[in-house]
Amino acid sequence: MAIPFIDLKAQQDRLRTEIEAGIHNVLAHGQYIMGPQVAQFEQKLAKFGDSRFALGCANGTDALLLPMMAWGIGPGDAVFCPSFTFCATAETIALMGATPVFVDMERDTYNISPSSLERAIKETISAGKLRPRCVIAVDLFGQCADYEALAPIVGEYGLKLIADSAQGFGTSLNGKQPGHWADVTTASFFPAKPLGCYGDGGAVLCDDEELTKIMASLCNHGKGSDRYDNIRIGFNSRLDTMQAAILLPKLAVFADEIERRNKIAARYIEGLKRHVLRVPTVRAGVVSTWAQFTIEVPDPEGFAKILKEDGIPTARYYPKPVHMQSAYVDYPVQGNGLPNTMACVDKVISLPMHAYLDEDTQDRIIEMAKKALG
Ligand SMILES: *Cc1c(COP(=O)(O)O)cnc(C)c1O
């Protein structure tokens, strides 16, 4: 029997009654855009995220654009981000007309390296061409970045800090979520993310009321007091009512799902730690959402092929870091090379991970992985 990489069906079976009731409710009232479920979800999301405000938007990419638009980030501005991430992190910086400056990662957590960040800021200042404005840290694979180390650097240089928590929404360090340190936290509800809907969706969370108002206007064509009063150039990026209705019951079980994912990750680590080059490292005090369970092996392509024959899917995040992608090769790179990033890209591979992976299936994956490694 083939194993799904992410089993959306198992979660659906658990929540079927609530999700179908939510969908029928929206069909009955017909307010497909900005219906009551959007505000209900935003309120619950803010509470879950330990933030004063949460604002739904169309996807996790727009969620990154919104704060940068609100802050007027544009040509001549440097925005620092890791290269070992999904391309949307850097793409949004370039879309703003600003310059992404690629920063190395920590070898063990895959998250942005605070020391490489500080060097990148200094290099940018001495080159004298760009003005440092903002840092986008990514909670990669579900683990929050090292915000305790990032916050003082960001503070010293007067930069804004965005937590790209598309994969890590719900992660925490010593009980505090990224928004404790970041000006804005962004989330994606793409179906395969830990908190996913049944289409596209996203959100921004922050504690700043004025900023939230500006972002709410921006994602609604720059509207002022009513929709025919346009006070700024915005765009259309709203969270659909239908998706909000689907997300409400999913959010209600999300804390439980994060716990389940952590149990599964612990079993994987125990089963594989003596057989692979690396199992994931989670820093002390961190709770990861385990968007991905990523290991390192000598030959990931060969490993994937063997597992595939046994009906076990794998995925490679990310074989080619963003600074090596053809659309991004001309942007600045800290130190002209990112050694930690380059050291992992030809080894990383991710195993099936979701909250409903049962122990038998997990044991089968562990056994097959061990066999594939010889
Ligand atoms: C998925 C993802 C995004 C983009 O989210 P979408 O909802 O797909 O637009 C941004 N950043 C990271 C790190 C992601 O994993």
Q: Which two tokens stand for residue 236?
A: 């259309």
66 alpha carbon to ligand 1 midpoint, in Å?
14
User: Ligand 1 centre from 141 Cα, in Å?
Assistant: 11
Ligand 1 and 202: CB distance under 6 A: yes
The answer to whether residue 173 scores a pLDDT higher than 80 is: yes
Could you give the C-alpha distances from 61 to 45, 49, 134, in angstroms and in order? 18, 19, 16
- Extract the tokens encoding 70: 């609100």
Look over the chain and give the mean of its residue pLDDT values, rounded to a whole number. Answer: 97
In this predicted structure, the answer to whether residue 134 has a pLDDT above a threshold of 80 is yes
* Cα separation, 319 vs 297, whole angstroms: 13
> Does the Cβ of 168 fall within 6 Å of ligand 1?
no
**Would the CB of 164 count as within 6 Å of ligand 1?**
yes
Please give the pLDDT value at position 2: 80
Pocket test for ligand 1, best of 61, 93, 204, 237 (most atoms within 8 A of CB): 61
Write the burial class of residue 207 (CB in 10 Å: 0-12 exposed, 13-18 middle, 19+ buried): middle
Give me the mean pLDDT over the 141-165 stretch: 98
Q: Mean pLDDT lowest for which of 45-59, 65-79, 82-96, 227-241? A: 227-241
pLDDT digits (tens, 9 = 90+) for 324-355: 999 999 999 999 999 999 999 999 999 999 99
Q: Distance from the CA of 166 to the center of ligand 1, in angstroms? A: 5
Task: Report whether pLDDT(272) > 90.
Answer: yes
pLDDT class of 227 with cuts at 50, 70, 90: confident
Q: Which residue has the higher pLDDT, 226 or 195?
A: 195
Q: Residue 233: is its pLDDT beyond 90? A: yes
- What is the structure's pLDDT at 341? 98
Sorting pLDDT into bands at 50, 70 and 90, what band is 374?
confident
Looking from the CA of residue 202, the nearest atom of ligand 1 is: 7
For residue 1, the model assigns a pLDDT of 65
- Of 164, 165, 247, the one to substitute when testing ligand 1's pocket (max ligand atoms within 8 A of C-beta) is 164
Which of 148, 199, 202 has its CA nearest to residue 178?
148
User: Whole-prediction pTM value?
Assistant: 0.98
Assess whether pLDDT exceeds 70 at residue 75.
yes
